[in-house]
Amino acid sequence: MQKPSLDRASEAGEAPQPLKEDVGATDPGPRNLGRDRQNPDVLAPPDTDSGEVPNLRFSFSDAHNRLEEGGWAREVTARELPVATTLAGVNMRLTPGGVREMHWHKEAEWAFMLDGRARITAVDQDGHDFIDDVGVGDLWYFPAGIPHAIQGLEEGCEFVLVFDDGNFSENSTFSLTDWFAHTPKDVLATNFGVSESAFSHIPSGERYIFQGEVPGPLPVSSPRGTAPESFSHRMLAQEPIRTGGGQVRITDSSNFPVSTTVAAALVEVEPGGMRELHWHPNDDEWQYFIEGKGRMTVFASEGTARTFDYRMGDVGYVPFAMGHYIQNTGEEPLRFLEMFRSDHFADVSLHQWMALTSCELVQEHLHVDREFMDTLRKEKRPVVE
């Protein structure tokens, strides 16, 4: 397995250089050494990189953070990562009792819980209510237009939200307080059948995130409300696809029926392992890196390829049908989400493709020997050693 393009000096804590053997030159500065150490394959690309491929990485650490009483939120959309046209993401933190106010979107909302616990509530178009407490590794999905709210429980919570439009922005949310503030009080009084004085103290604008009281236990009689379809899912309760190099859990409409526009895989790659060479035949891939360090090379056809380095909190992106792999370049497990604007997860394995094609045809293409052909396996292994 090819090592990251990081010279011995940088491994010892000195400044990495854009220099490999007899190409490149040292960089005396000015420079951002922290960035260079985090992105060795951008500083000194592998020899196999070629041509122009757009940027496929953006860190939530570089995104504007909106701070509110009760939490914070930051987003990575097509504004921050222009190539990411199919999906957008929001990283949000709520304090114990912190409330992401009652709201709805033009886009569907998919979420993965990163830390703590939260209470989610919603009401569908037929008047059915939904309520659930979610923890680390749990998902939720609210279809476009379905009103909902999120509140941190005793330990608070952090999660990543994914929306099925790359140009989505949290600033375009339809919020309860914003609507009340922009509706005449006599109209509110008529609508709700009360006097105008009932609205004397409503907020003057959107509250977005605010501090509330930690809610009590879920009702025993109807712990998840009356909605006929669940808006939440326990992803970590799924039995993973295990291989020698790691494991994968896949969640799409086949096991989470309400999630009709976002499909996802939670991938865990052990040190020395790799998400195999593959591509996706259904849509672009939006990635969120949860833990560890990795490097991804994307093959974009026409003799072009580019390598990027990722770590926790980064967003990655692979345009439709482009071949790629992801190596674990650290000493700890690498965990990341693969997400697609689709109702189903689909990938094509390079290894499986060759194994299911005649030996003669593959050999005529690649000039490989028979020993190589005999090692090919017909079953798919998403993560390899």
Let me know: does 96 contact 132? Beta carbons within 8 Å: no
The residue among 181, 180, 182, 185 whose CA lies nearest residue 196 is 185
Nearest alpha-carbon partner for 247 in 236, 260, 261, 256? 236
Three-class SS of residue 295?
Answer: strand
Determine the Cα–Cα distance for residues 53 and 338; give it in Å rounded to an integer. 20
Long-range contacts of 301-305 (CB under 8 A, 24+ apart): 302/51, 303/50, 303/51, 304/50, 304/51, 304/52, 304/53, 305/48, 305/49, 305/50, 305/51, 305/53
Residues linked to residue 129 through DSSP beta bridges, in sequence order: 123
Cβ-contact 57, 306 below 8 angstroms: no
| CA pair distance 149, 212, nearest whole angstrom | 13
Among 338, 371, 379, 385, the active-site one is 338
Active site residue 338: yes
Residues forming the active site: 338
